């Protein structure tokens, strides 16, 4: 998510905010840093869109997005992030998200604070049974995550910027393992065939390359699917959709068996 602000206007705002900060008398305990309120007042004087400034400040509070690494080009990023501004307060947003992740997606809350939460994949026997029972009714991309972290930043009262960061390490490991197996088989087969006849080696060698190409395609496809599913999760949170419980899934399966 990015907000475009005119660079010259931003420079004017910063200069004006610095002047306003210098004009204010010091107060006990003050850090001497420019406050967000001063920035907003200076932006108002400069005629900037205050909503855009508030969003920019909220984004700045969240910090940078997860940095890419080399393997991301092949099997997709290890950490996938999506952001959205919702007309919800922080407590309501995180509460709804917690409800969906625990009741619907088989995760447990590992850590929580006033403005953030972290959920990890459950590995107990009951969670495994629940995931099996929900096969076909729950996103396979979310089921294979290692965990999800949510960070929030208040834009203004009743509006919150949320960033979900999904850990898809297990999904990437699965893709890399599959590619290694196929690629390794191709290389072994090539070596065996080389003993028999050289011309066939030329035809057999691309097996390993093909495995890498297929892995790249699968990684990008899974990354795109995960982004869609994370956006869908935020849709449910934003609408206040009630998470479907395990008993609902059991009833659905029974209806299908009777039909």
Q: What angle do CA 209, 218, 148 make, to 5 degrees?
A: 135
Asked if residue 191 has pLDDT above 60, the reply is no
Mean of the pLDDT values across residues 139-145? 77
Dump pLDDT digits (tens) for 196-228.
445 544 554 555 555 555 666 666 777 888 999
Q: Residue ranges per domain, the chain?
A: 7-29+36-62, 75-169+234-250, 171-216
Mean pLDDT confidence for 65-82: 79
Segment 40-64 shows an average pLDDT of 85
With 80 as the cut, is the pLDDT of residue 60 above it? yes
d(CA 68, CA 77): 7
Q: What is the C-alpha separation between 98 and 119, in angstroms, rounded?
A: 8
Predicted pLDDT of residue 207: 54
Position 131 scores a pLDDT of 64
Average pLDDT, the chain: 75
Name the 3-class secondary structure at 255. Answer: helix
* Structure-block tokens of residue 135: 């096969």
Least confident of 33-37, 90-94, 119-123, 193-197: 193-197
Segment 149-177 mean pLDDT: 87
* pLDDT above 70 (res 246): no
Q: Does the domain spanning 75-169+234-250 belong to CATH 3.30.310?
A: yes
> What is this structure's pTM?
0.71
């Amino acid at each position: 998510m990015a907000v475009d602000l005119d660079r010259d206007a931003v420079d004017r705002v910063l200069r004006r905010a610095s002047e306003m900060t210098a004009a204010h008398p010091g107060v006990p305990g003050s850090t001497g840093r420019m406050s967000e309120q001063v920035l907003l007042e200076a932006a108002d004087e400069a005629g900037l869109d205050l909503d855009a400034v508030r969003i920019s400040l909220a984004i700045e509070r969240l910090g940078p997005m997860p940095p890419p690494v080399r393997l991301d080009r092949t099997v997709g990023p290890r950490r996938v992030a999506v952001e959205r501004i919702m007309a919800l307060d922080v407590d309501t947003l995180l509460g709804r998200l917690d409800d969906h992740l625990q009741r619907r997606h088989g995760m447990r809350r590992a850590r929580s604070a006033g403005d953030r939460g972290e959920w990890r994949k459950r590995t107990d026997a009951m969670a495994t049974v629940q995931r099996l029972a929900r096969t076909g009714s729950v996103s396979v991309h979310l089921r294979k995550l290692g965990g999800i972290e949510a960070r929030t930043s208040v834009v203004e009262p009743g509006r919150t910027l949320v960033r979900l960061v999904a850990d898809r390490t297990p999904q990437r490991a699965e893709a890399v393992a599959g590619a290694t197996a196929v690629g390794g088989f191709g290389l072994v087969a090539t070596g065996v065939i080389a003993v028999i006849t050289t011309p066939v080696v030329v035809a057999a060698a691309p097996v390993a390359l093909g495995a890498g190409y297929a892995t790249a395609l699968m990684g990008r496809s899974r990354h795109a699917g995960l982004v869609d599913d994370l956006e869908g999760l935020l849709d449910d949170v934003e609408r206040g959709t009630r998470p479907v419980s395990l008993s609902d899934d059991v009833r659905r399966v029974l209806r299908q068996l009777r039909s």
